[in-house]
């Protein structure tokens, strides 16, 4: 474990913020990150995500309140029919699968027995700045804590129809990033680990790091995830395809079986040109144009280059959650 200057002060501030009494000066990193637990999930055997993510998944989660709510990255638990969490001292308890949000990437569980750990208070990811020192903690206690710094806060577009206006990128990379806690200098949670990347700074140079989902995206949807398993209100149209930007062109690299894009006739190797006659200037711009003024269920007119032929495909979109095997979970 790498040392982090001021960790005792950070732990004290976190303790006070959570409503407890001030800790002794011997407060350790172990106590600070005891809220970071191991998450193991068991996926519906017919789940749509099994082919890519497997039937059993393991990573980290963060206890965020005294009732045992555990926040994690959604791909660890989507389509799960059962789950368990384990504390750093080896206690394992079953967990209920509560909710999943594709737009942010957050997943939510609740431990069914007391975890007896101090929840990690939520901070403000908006207050993070480039070069700020942070801790990255995965399950396993103090030995799985590393020091890092914020490299950038910038847009991130994922090939799986995923877009964050401002993701958090840190370096050096943590080896167990899935669901890891990003902790600020006040000892508060400011992000949840999603990816390892080769270009954390976004400069197209080799700069390995991790990408985190900002914690500020959680409070607006937390009550709905707990009550309904998903956010309510308008839902972005889902097309059911994986798209990658390669040398300035948008290539369809996969279509979801029985998904909207496949039903409309799109195939691997097609090149996306734009939406309804308007050119798409990169992956993020493609998503924004596809989502603009549309909700799930509406037709998205996609301009596609097939070989040397330019064609229009009217893709009848859907809510991605309705395509997944969620009925046995939430």
User: For the domain that residue 276 is a member of, what is the CATH number?
Assistant: 2.30.42.10
Asked whether residue 138 falls in the same domain as residue 49, the answer is no
Q: Write out pLDDT tens, residues 276-312.
A: 999 999 999 999 999 999 999 999 999 999 988 999 9
Residue after which a domain boundary falls, among 228, 253, 271: 228
Range of the domain at 91: 7-119+223-228
Distance CA(179)–CA(85), nearest Å, equals 12
The residue whose two tokens read 């129809």 is 161
Residue 114 sits in the same domain as residue 146: no
CATH number for the domain harbouring residue 191: 2.40.10.10
| Alpha carbons 40 and 77: distance in angstroms, whole number | 8
User: Both 11 and 110 in a single domain?
Assistant: yes
Q: Are residues 247 and 156 part of one domain?
A: no
Q: Specify whether 110 is located in the same domain as 20.
A: yes
111 and 138 share one domain: no
- What confidence score (pLDDT) does residue 15 get? 36
Average pLDDT, the chain: 91
Residue 300 lies in a domain: yes
Residue from 109, 86, 87 nearest 31 by CA: 87
* Distances from the Cα of 279 to the Cα of 157, 237, 250, 251, 272, angstroms: 17, 19, 11, 14, 9
Q: Which residues of the chain have pLDDT under 70?
A: 1-27, 327-330
Question: Of 193, 228, 263, which residue constitutes the final position of a domain?
Answer: 228
- Assess whether 183 and 247 both reside in one domain: no
Rounded distance between C-alpha atoms, residue 145 and residue 74, angstroms: 22
Task: Tell me, yes or no, if the pTM score tops 0.75.
Answer: yes
Say how many domains are in the chain. Answer: 3
pLDDT of residue 31: 84
């Amino acid at each position: 474990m790498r040392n982090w200057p001021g960790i005792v002060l950070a732990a004290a501030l976190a303790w006070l913020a959570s409503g407890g009494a001030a800790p002794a000066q011997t407060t350790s990193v172990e106590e600070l990150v005891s809220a970071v637990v191991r998450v193991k999930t068991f996926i519906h055997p017919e789940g749509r995500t099994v082919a890519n993510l497997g039937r059993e998944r393991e990573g980290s989660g963060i206890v965020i309140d005294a009732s045992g709510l555990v926040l994690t990255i959604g791909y660890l638990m989507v389509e799960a029919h059962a789950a368990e969490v384990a504390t750093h001292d080896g206690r394992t308890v079953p967990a209920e699968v509560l909710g999943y949000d594709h737009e942010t990437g957050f997943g939510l569980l609740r431990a069914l027995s007391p975890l007896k750990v101090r929840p990690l208070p939520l901070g403000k990811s908006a207050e993070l700045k480039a070069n700020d020192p942070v801790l990255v903690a995965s399950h396993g206690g103090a030995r799985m804590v590393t020091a890092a710094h914020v490299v950038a806060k910038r847009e991130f577009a994922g090939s799986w129809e995923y877009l964050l206006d401002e993701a958090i990128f840190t370096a050096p990379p943590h080896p167990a990033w899935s669901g890891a806690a990003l902790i600020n200098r006040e000892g508060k949670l400011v992000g949840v680990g999603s990816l390892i990347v080769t270009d954390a700074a976004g400069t197209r140079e080799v700069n390995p790091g991790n990408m985190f989902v900002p914690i500020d995206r959680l409070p607006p949807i937390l009550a709905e995830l707990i009550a309904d398993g998903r956010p309510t209100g308008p839902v972005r149209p889902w097309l059911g395809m994986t798209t990658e930007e390669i040398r300035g062109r948008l290539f369809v690299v996969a279509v979801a079986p029985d998904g909207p894009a496949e039903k409309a006739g799109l195939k691997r190797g097609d090149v996306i040109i734009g939406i309804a006659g308007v050119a798409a200037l990169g992956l993020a711009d493609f998503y924004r144009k596809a989502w603009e003024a549309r909700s799930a269920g509406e037709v998205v007119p996609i301009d596609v280059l097939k070989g040397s032929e330019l064609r229009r495909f009217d893709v009848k979109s859907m809510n991605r959650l309705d395509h997944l095997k969620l009925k046995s979970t939430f």
